[in-house]
Amino acid sequence: MADGQGAAPAVSKTPSDFLKSIKGKPVIVKLNSGVDYRGILACLDGYMNIAMEQTEEYVNGQLKNKYGDCFIRGNNVLYISTVRS
């Protein structure tokens, strides 16, 4: 766009920035086994170990368990996603 208007400039956001921005927010953590954990992200470390609150465990899309607090070892994590409103 020659007039300087058009697409907004791309904002560079690192994975670390993303993880910092979702602390205290609802997330979905998918494990290598296919199990999903949904809850509030309390904290995580450099090894991707995750602590969650108000956690629900889903197996094949079905709610299986509810936990107050949950700790997930980082090497089991496939991905972390924010919950869309």
Query: Does the pLDDT at position 67 exceed 80?
Result: yes
Banded model confidence at residue 20, pLDDT cuts 50, 70, 90: confident
Rounded to whole angstroms, how far apart are CA atoms 70 and 21? Answer: 20
Mean pLDDT of the chain: 88
Rounded to whole angstroms, how far apart are CA atoms 48 and 19? Answer: 10
Cβ–Cβ under 8 Å, residues 37 and 52: yes
Banded model confidence at residue 1, pLDDT cuts 50, 70, 90: very low
The 3-class SS string of 35-85 reads CEEEEEEEEECCCCCEEEEEEEEEECCEEEEEEEEEEECHHHEEEEEECCC
